[in-house]
């Protein structure tokens, strides 16, 4: 039997906030869309851009994580498989969609939330130690250790 592979890897930006829902059996499912961009130059030297939109679906714990951390505009890496499904709409027409059912997601966006920025600024306010300062600290520690070992008398040992 021949082997086959159904694998998708995408890096793009979310076009909308994730929608978290639960199935009647209690399984979490989230859906969102990401946009991927492609740029190229034609033979005549004209620059062209193309954008593709991808419907992404995650299940269970990954769905809850996506719902918690992803928002519109964030850059994300997703990996999963293609799945095409069809259904009959309320008006009786046949509908079909292709989705990426993800098994892995990595948040790539480096933008920070306001709280993280405040923490970062507070950390940066502390003066940074130079190599000279660190060397002086080590010398002081060694001197203190030497002084303390010289002062121990036999009567001071508890056993």
CATH classification at residue 102: 2.40.50.140
| pLDDT higher at 141 or 65 | 65
Q: Is the pLDDT of residue 100 over 50?
A: yes
Could you give the 3-state DSSP secondary structure of residue 120? helix
Tell me what the mean pLDDT of segment 31-45 comes to: 93
- Predicted confidence at residue 159, as pLDDT, reads 47
In this structure, is residue 3 part of a structural domain? no
How far is 159 from 148, CA to CA, in rounded Å?
A: 19
Domain count of the chain? 2
pLDDT band at 2 (very low <50, low <70, confident <90, very high): confident
pTM of the model: 0.64
Residues 98 and 23 in one domain: yes
In this structure, is residue 22 part of a structural domain? yes
Mind listing the pLDDT tens digit for each residue in 69-88? Answer: 999 999 999 999 999 999 99
In this structure, is residue 2 part of a structural domain? no
Domain containing residue 96 = 8-111
Residues 81 and 50 in one domain: yes
CA distance readout (Å), 151 to 104, 147, 159: 61, 7, 17
């Amino acid at each position: 039997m021949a082997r086959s592979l159904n694998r998708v890897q995408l890096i793009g930006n979310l076009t909308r906030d994730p929608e978290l829902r639960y199935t009647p059996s209690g399984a979490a499912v989230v859906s969102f869309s990401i946009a991927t961009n492609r740029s190229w130059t034609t033979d005549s030297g004209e620059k062209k851009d193309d954008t593709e939109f991808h419907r992404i679906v995650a299940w269970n714990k990954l769905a809850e994580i996506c719902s918690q951390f992803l928002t519109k505009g964030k850059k994300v890496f997703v990996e999963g498989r293609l799945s095409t499904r069809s259904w009959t709409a309320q008006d009786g027409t046949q509908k079909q969609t292709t989705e990426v059912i993800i098994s892995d997601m990595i948040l790539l966006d480096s933008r920070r939330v306001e709280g993280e920025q405040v923490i970062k600024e507070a950390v940066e306010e502390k003066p940074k130690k130079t190599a000279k300062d660190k060397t002086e600290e080590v010398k002081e520690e060694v001197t203190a250790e030497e002084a303390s070992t010289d002062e121990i008398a036999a009567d001071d040992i508890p056993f």
